[in-house]
Amino acid sequence: MMTGKRSWAQTRQVLSFIALSYFTDLISGQIRYTIPEELKHGAFVANVADDLGLNVSELSARRLRIVSGASAQYLEVNLGNGILFVNEKIDREQLCGPIFTCFLHLEVVIENPLELYRIEVEIVDINDNAPTFLRKELSLDIIESALPGMRFPLESAHDPDVGTNSVYTYRLSPNDHFILDVERRSDGSKFAALVLEKILDREQQRAHQLVLTAVDGGIPQRSGTAQITITVLDANDNLPVFEQTHYQVSLKENAPKGTLVLKLNASDLDEGSNSEIAYSFSSHTPPRVHELFSVDTHTGEIRVKSTIDHEELNMFEIYVQAKDKGGPYAIPVHCKVLVDIIDVNDNAPEVILTSLSSPVMEDAMIGTVIALISVTDKDSEKNGHINCEISQGVPFKLQSSFKNHYTLVTTGLLDRERVSEYNITITAIDLGYPSLSTTESIFLKVSDVNDNAPTFSKPSYTVYITENNPPGATVCSVTALDPDSNQNAYLSYSIIDSMIRGLPSRSYVSINSDNGKVYALRSFDYEQLKEFQIQIQAQDAGFPPLSGTTKVNVIILDQNDNVPFIVFPRPNNGSAALQKVPQSVDSGQVVIKVIATDADSGQNAKLSYQLLKATDRTLFDVALDTGEVRTTRPFFGDRDAPKQTLVILVKDSGQTSLSATVTIIFSIMDNITEILPEMSDLSENPGQNSALLFYIIITLGSISFLFIVAIIIVVTIKCRQYRNNAQDCNTAIGNCCIQHLNSADILKTSKTNLQATTSPKVPPDFLEMGGSGPASQTYYYKVCLTPESAKSDFTFLKPFSPARPKDRTSAADPGAVDWNGVAPITLNSDLSTSSVNAQVIQFREWDENISSQFIDLLQNNTAEHHKSMEVVKQPSAR
């Protein structure tokens, strides 16, 4: 090490080396700087940012860093200005030892995006070490008979510096007998030999004291000294002689201990002890040779003493001396042995992961750089040549950027849902024999991208829910799956807006956005809504969000929640239905048919009829399925009551059956018997039947027309009375108000004459009625047979639309039943703004004076002989 203060010349040399650091050499993607050793911390090396063409403001964001293969971080970069500075003092001798050219290899790694640069910093030696001798005092025995020109090798000085800073020359203190001869080794180092210039005379001077000075070539120059004591010995005439003065052998590194390197052979012409030779290392043999090799004193065999590493030093110079035993004054002779160390493939390649970008997005493009990798091998030649391979079956490959440096890039598209992570094995194999290899595993995760839309387990669902469900009841549960992860797989469910019978679907059902459970918001009624469809969407929380849809068909199941409704017969005055029966009837004759309906469906609407109570159970029987009431005896006797009361139970087939009853009072009349044969004759004689039907229609039409005119007159009078009080009116027709009127009163007060007319313009199933009064108009009435009539029943009806919504709140509404496409309206005489309620008149008994009897019955408003009539005013085209 340097002692004393550094002189101005040395300081100037340091400054000159610093100036050299500004020189850069871009070769094959590398930058080279040159700096002297022993620079202090913070010393300027170079501006890396300028040399690499980088933006200084981006250095920190792009995470520029220095990767060094050395054990210490000698150099560092200031991210604020891009300057490369000395971080730790560099001792070239410690870093590179005796190697002349010393390089510090650095890698500049820049991320975002990933870039790699290689920097070589040459460490220039400064003269900071003086030459030193292993021993400060050297002793030589020289026989007095030694002739001039005899050489005596001296111990070499050691200077850890290299080049001109190492040992440059040797100097000998002035004397009369010796001069110094300086020789150069093959590696450029020098050593000195003492040459006898003048014959020694032991009798004159027994010993000589000399000073040997080793001087280096540095600036300032440094030196070291050793004291040489020369003892003059008595003469021994013959010296040992080696077969060769120079030997050269080869030795494999890692040779086992005791391996023979070379057997030396020296001879001496003397006899006795003067010819016995002892071998040893010369005094100037380097200490490392003493550690690695040994020489047998007797045989001259040089053997391996310790492990030899070619990577440490590939050649050794061994200096061996042979000295006879001819007394203490024997003179040694010397030879040089050059040992070439042959490299053996004893170092496996080393894989260094410089940088790794993990995790990698699954939508990374082909060619995306994932990692930077460097490989090294301490061996030489082909033993140090390396091939890198990557494991098969992965969408990655290695690309060589420059020698022993690789980038790991993608070769295919990644799919996290298929493979979420990769264990990539990189194998480095050298070309030695046998080859050595090293593997390095890289664990790479693939991060998720929202590239999968949610999918439902079914494209559509069909669910069933029973009507009258409580609000909030669960309708169904739908599930969607998303193979993405984290928030890209978090799903929320919603109902897509749609209309169900004029109302938004969200007023019928709701959905839990987290679990997909669908709930009913209202109680469903099968009779109003039998099924509906909603569309459900599942949307993930990714960006941008993706969604999937499914359809849910909700089918409402019927419950037995409607009581059978008795359509016919209807009770008179809210008590019981009256029905006339001739005293003499055939056995099995249908006297009436009970007609009922049920708003439910399926089994819940399948009705059965049974006789619940009767005045005399032996007189009548009820058909279970049809509701027909038949006689069980051919005629009624005097013992039978003139009035027979029947209570008929109508029951549905629901799980919990519901039922309704109707009470019918049969009036047994003896004057009806004559009409039965006549009606039978009518059915057997079509001509007479048609004529009779024509007269009946004319008669009934006239009466109906009279009834209508009377109603119009009364309505007109009432409108005038209540014109100023519109709040008391129920319905407005034009500028008039209509009040409920009694048909019997109208007929009593009306003076309108009705006439029945025929016209070819009238449809065949309609009757045209005209009047002769002042308010006379022409009206049309449709004529048809009721389905339960037995040849003799006629009904005057107005065609009625079956689309009229049912009134489930009215249990006494017979207008909900369709009789062969003709729906009777409520049995009353109310008038509305949309139509005039027609009166439906049904006759089951006819006699000879049927027209006059019907008029009397209608005028007297007898409840047993009329139903309601619905009249619709249809002015003719005339």
| 38 three-class SS | coil
Which of these three, 628, 646, 672, is where a domain ends?
Answer: 672
Please report whether residue 751 resides in a domain. yes
What is the average pLDDT across 183-201? 86
Q: Are residues 827 and 751 in the same domain?
A: yes
CB atoms within 10 A of CB 189: 18
Q: Are residues 119 and 167 in the same domain?
A: no
Side chain identity, residue 44: F
Q: What is the dihedral of CA 451, 456, 460, 463, to 10 degrees?
A: -160
Per-residue pLDDT at 542: 87
Q: Are residues 703 and 788 in the same domain?
A: yes
Per-residue pLDDT at 251: 92
What is the average pLDDT across 121-125? 89
Evaluate if residue 120 carries a pLDDT over 80.
yes
Please report whether residue 821 resides in a domain. yes
Lowest model confidence (mean pLDDT) among 147-156, 204-213, 255-264, 696-705 = 696-705
Q: What percent of the chain has pLDDT over 90?
A: 19
Q: What is the CA radius of gyration of the chain?
A: 65
Q: Are residues 701 and 796 in the same domain?
A: yes
Q: Are residues 460 and 442 in the same domain?
A: no
Say if residue 113 is preceded by a cis peptide, omega within 30 of 0.
yes
What's the rounded Cα separation, in Å, for the pair 147 and 200? 9
Per-residue pLDDT at 671: 53
Residue 352 is encoded by which pair of tokens? 């260094």
- What CATH code is carried by the domain that includes residue 283? 2.60.40.60
pLDDT tens across 462-487, in order? Answer: 999 888 889 988 889 999 998 988 88
Structure-model confidence comparison of residues 856 and 362, the more confident one: 362
What is the average pLDDT across 544-566? 89
CB atoms within 10 A of CB 163: 15
Q: What is the dihedral of CA 623, 570, 823, 748, to 10 degrees?
A: 140
Residue 695 is encoded by which pair of tokens? 């007269």
Side chain identity, residue 862: T
What's the rounded Cα separation, in Å, for the pair 685 and 536? 69
pLDDT tier, 29 (very low <50, low <70, confident <90, very high otherwise):
low
What's the rounded Cα separation, in Å, for the pair 756 and 339? 150
Angle, helices 850-859/686-721, rounded to nearest 10 degrees: 20
Please report whether residue 617 resides in a domain. yes
Lowest model confidence (mean pLDDT) among 240-249, 465-474, 576-585, 862-871 = 862-871
What's the rounded Cα separation, in Å, for the pair 410 and 486? 24
| 702 three-class SS | helix
CB atoms within 10 A of CB 242: 21
Structure-model confidence comparison of residues 850 and 604, the more confident one: 604
Per-residue pLDDT at 339: 94
Please report whether residue 680 resides in a domain. no
What is the average pLDDT across 60-73? 82
What's the rounded Cα separation, in Å, for the pair 432 and 368? 33
Residue 59 is encoded by which pair of tokens? 């250095």
Evaluate if residue 304 carries a pLDDT over 60.
yes
Please report whether residue 45 resides in a domain. yes
DSSP string across 766-792: EEEEEE-STT---EEEEEE--TT--SS
DSSP string across 327-354: STT---EEEEEEEEEEP-S----EEEEE
671 Cβ neighbours under 8 A, 6+ residues apart: 847
What's the rounded Cα separation, in Å, for the pair 56 and 794? 109
863 within 8 A of 575, measured Cβ to Cβ: no
Longest Cα–Cα distance in the chain: 197
546 within 8 A of 531, measured Cβ to Cβ: no
Report the predicted TM-score, pTM, of the whole model to 2 decimal places.
0.48
pLDDT tens across 213-236, in order? Answer: 999 988 889 999 999 999 987 666
Evaluate if residue 455 carries a pLDDT over 60.
yes
- Specify the pairing of strand 137-143 against strand 223-233: parallel
Structure-model confidence comparison of residues 205 and 326, the more confident one: 205
Helix/strand number for the chain, H first, E second: 8, 62
Per-residue pLDDT at 187: 74
749 within 8 A of 736, measured Cβ to Cβ: no
Cα 838 → chain centroid:
71
Q: Are residues 120 and 214 in the same domain?
A: no
Q: How far is CA 407 from CA 64, 250, 313, 399, 424, in A?
A: 17, 40, 33, 5, 13
Evaluate if residue 558 carries a pLDDT over 90.
no
Evaluate if residue 672 carries a pLDDT over 60.
no
Q: Are residues 662 and 691 in the same domain?
A: no
Which of these three, 447, 465, 484, is where a domain ends?
Answer: 447
Please report whether residue 677 resides in a domain. no
776 Cβ neighbours under 8 A, 6+ residues apart: 709, 752, 770
Quickly tell me which residue has 């999968």 as its tokens: 452
* Sheet architecture: strand order including 44-47: 44-47, 83-86, 75-78
Mean pLDDT: which of 289-293, 627-631, 645-649, 780-784 is highest?
289-293
Query: For residue 603, what are the domain limits?
Result: 565-672
pLDDT tier, 601 (very low <50, low <70, confident <90, very high otherwise):
confident
Please report whether residue 246 resides in a domain. yes
Residue 230 is encoded by which pair of tokens? 């020369």
Q: Are residues 334 and 267 in the same domain?
A: yes
What's the rounded Cα separation, in Å, for the pair 128 and 7? 11
CB atoms within 10 A of CB 608: 17
Evaluate if residue 536 carries a pLDDT over 90.
yes
Which of these three, 124, 158, 190, is where a domain ends?
Answer: 124
Domain count, the chain: 7
Say if residue 544 is preceded by a cis peptide, omega within 30 of 0.
yes
Average pLDDT, the chain: 75
| 167 three-class SS | strand
537 within 8 A of 493, measured Cβ to Cβ: yes
Per-residue pLDDT at 326: 77
Per-residue pLDDT at 637: 65
Q: Are residues 118 and 145 in the same domain?
A: no
Evaluate if residue 125 carries a pLDDT over 90.
no
Residues forming beta bridges with residue 279, ordered by sequence position: 322
What's the rounded Cα separation, in Å, for the pair 837 and 824? 10
Please report whether residue 712 resides in a domain. yes
Q: Are residues 752 and 776 in the same domain?
A: yes
What's the rounded Cα separation, in Å, for the pair 734 and 721? 15
Q: Are residues 539 and 574 in the same domain?
A: no
Q: Are residues 713 and 838 in the same domain?
A: yes
